[in-house]
Amino acid sequence: YELFVDDQYNIYISESSNNRITKWSRSNSTAGTLVAGGNGAGNTADKLANPWGIYVTNQSIYIADRDNHRIQKWDFGASLASTVAGSTSDPGPWSYQFNNPVAITFDPSGYMYI
């Protein structure tokens, strides 16, 4: 599991074994809101497989989709994500491939680090 706290103090939790990301607000600590995945494990644009690292912006959530060897960008309110790095093919040594990415962050200039 991975956590991310946004500037409004909402907590985002990467639920690896449930293949989803949930958001927990300060005003409601009894139930989270599904914001990404949750449709079972898979490699299509609406699914995640063992998600780990997460990074939240004002408009999107970036997810290290570990078992799919990719980084997914999920815009808030969208039913599908887009792959912004990696691929769902086999992991490998090439610069465009990942082998089970587990963390993601951005620097102040907007560069992504995985």
Size of the chain, expressed as the number of residues it contains: 114
Stretch among 4-8, 42-46, 88-92 having the lowest mean pLDDT: 88-92
3-state secondary structure the chain: CEEEECCCCCEEEEEHHHCEEEEEECCEEEEEEEEEECCCECCCCCCECCEEEEEECCCEEEEEEHHHCEEEEEECCCCCCEEEEECCCCCCCCCCCCCCCCCCEECCCCCEEC
* Domain 2-113 sits in CATH 1.20.810.10: no
Domain ranges, ordered by start, for the chain: 2-113
Q: Report how far residue 28's alpha carbon sits from residue 26's, in angstroms, rounded to the nearest whole number.
A: 6
Q: Report how far residue 60's alpha carbon sits from residue 74's, in angstroms, rounded to the nearest whole number.
A: 5
The better pLDDT of the pair 65, 77 is held by 65
pLDDT band at 19 (very low <50, low <70, confident <90, very high): very high
| pLDDT tens digit sequence for 67-113 | 999 999 999 989 999 999 988 777 877 777 888 999 999 999 999 99
Structure confidence at residue 112 (pLDDT): 94
Q: Report how far residue 35's alpha carbon sits from residue 73's, in angstroms, rounded to the nearest whole number.
A: 12
Average pLDDT of the segment spanning 5-25: 94
Structure confidence at residue 96 (pLDDT): 78
pLDDT band at 35 (very low <50, low <70, confident <90, very high): very high
